[in-house]
């Protein structure tokens, strides 16, 4: 017994390491592939509170510093904007008329009127601690009705672009799997030529997405800059959401389909707010 104690004392450091490795491997094996592993969910809920606090404090301080300089700018912009409001009020009247006419014409042509989505706006508050996995954390969770697999979009440069989908939720925060993650797959369609394919992330914000399984017959009709949208073939993403634009067309001899390089509509390094599509009206 004393011998055993001596041995344990002598090798306690390495024994502890082995124990910690075994615990870690057990946890990894048990939780692998499960986004809603309970202990992780509880820990995430607790630490996400701290993330919200830190992000809010940081934003408050940044806004306070910025606001002094911005006051001057706002005064001059105020006058310009008042004039623009008048202009837009006139345009709005025209828009309503055009919209009503559009609905009427669509009915005549027997087109299905595209449904509008119910969404929750959210702010990005945190990202992954490391560089291998890619998630975006937003300040909306199950308390706001957010559930796993809900699509997430954002508005940039006049386009509503696809950001990703919700993969993990806690009461106050949710994690988004962005479309550039290399475990993200999206059924896509070329907006003009209607060819279908599957978009896969490349793993980095800076790299282009890859669109596979586009038939080689499409080669001649594709152009650089063509828009790619969700096809709606997956139940997760509704059809017609902008994903990106073609930035490269490749037809390798060893493949039966084309490989397209797609530049996302959304610039992920500048994204601050997103919209979670929670349902359809």
The token pair at 45 is 């809920």
For other proteins, give the closer residue by CB, 174 or 190: 174
For other proteins, give the closer residue by CB, 54 or 105: 54
User: Cβ of residue 35: shortest distance to other proteins, in angstroms?
Assistant: 8
User: Cβ of residue 46: shortest distance to other proteins, in angstroms?
Assistant: 8
For other proteins, give the closer residue by CB, 205 or 239: 205
* 240 Rama class: left (phi>0) / alpha (psi -120 to 50) / beta: left
Pick the closest to residue 246 from 222, 268, 266 (CA basis).
222
User: Cβ of residue 106: shortest distance to other proteins, in angstroms?
Assistant: 42
Burial class (CB in 10 A: 0-12, 13-18, 19+), 107: exposed
User: Cβ of residue 270: shortest distance to other proteins, in angstroms?
Assistant: 12
DSSP H helices in the chain: 2-10, 12-31, 38-108
User: Cβ of residue 262: shortest distance to other proteins, in angstroms?
Assistant: 18
d(CA 189, CA 198): 8
User: Cβ of residue 207: shortest distance to other proteins, in angstroms?
Assistant: 10
From the CA atom positions of the chain, what is the Rg in Å? 25
User: Cβ of residue 151: shortest distance to other proteins, in angstroms?
Assistant: 18
For other proteins, give the closer residue by CB, 40 or 120: 40
For other proteins, give the closer residue by CB, 2 or 269: 269
For other proteins, give the closer residue by CB, 54 or 233: 54
Contact 253, 235 (CB under 8 A): no
Q: How many residues does the chain have?
A: 281
d(CA 102, CA 111): 11
d(CA 243, CA 227): 8
The b-or-e profile of 62-91 (16+ CB within 10 A means b, else e) is eeeeeeeeeeeeeeeeeeeeeeeeeeeeee
Contact set with other proteins (CB under 8 A): 12-13, 16-17, 20-21, 23-32, 35, 37, 39-40, 43-44, 46-48, 50-51, 54-55, 58, 125-135, 137, 167-168, 175, 177, 182-183, 203-206, 269
For other proteins, give the closer residue by CB, 171 or 232: 171
Report the helix count and the strand count for the chain, using DSSP H and E. Answer: 3, 12
């Amino acid at each position: 017994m004393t011998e055993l104690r001596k041995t344990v004392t002598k090798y306690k450091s390495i024994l502890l390491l082995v124990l910690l490795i075994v615990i870690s491997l057990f946890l990894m094996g048990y939780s692998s592939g499960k986004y809603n592993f309970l202990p992780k969910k509880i820990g995430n809920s607790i630490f996400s509170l701290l993330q919200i606090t830190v992000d809010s404090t940081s934003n408050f301080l940044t806004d306070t510093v910025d606001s002094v300089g911005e006051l001057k700018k706002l005064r001059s912009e105020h006058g310009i904007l008042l004039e623009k409001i008048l202009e837009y009020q006139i345009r709005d009247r025209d828009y309503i008329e055009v919209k009503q006419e559009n609905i009427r014409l669509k009915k005549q042509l027997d087109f299905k009127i595209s449904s509008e989505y119910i969404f929750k706006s959210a702010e990005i508050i945190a990202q992954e601690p490391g560089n291998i996995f890619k998630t975006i954390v937003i300040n909306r969770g199950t308390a706001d009705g957010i559930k796993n697999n809900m699509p997430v979009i954002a508005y940039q440069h006049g386009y509503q672009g696809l950001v990703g989908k919700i993969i993990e939720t806690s009461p106050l925060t949710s994690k988004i799997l962005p479309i550039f993650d290399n475990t993200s797959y999206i059924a896509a369609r070329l907006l003009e030529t209607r060819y279908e394919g599957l978009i896969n992330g490349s793993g980095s914000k800076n790299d282009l997405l890859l669109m596979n399984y586009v038939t080689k017959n499409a080669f001649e009709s594709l152009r650089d800059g063509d828009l790619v949208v969700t096809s709606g073939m997956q139940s997760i993403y509704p059809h017609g959401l902008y994903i990106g634009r073609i930035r490269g067309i490749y037809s390798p001899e060893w493949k039966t389909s084309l490989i397209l390089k797609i530049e996302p509509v959304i610039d992920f390094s500048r994204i601050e707010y997103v919209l979670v599509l929670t349902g359809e009206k």
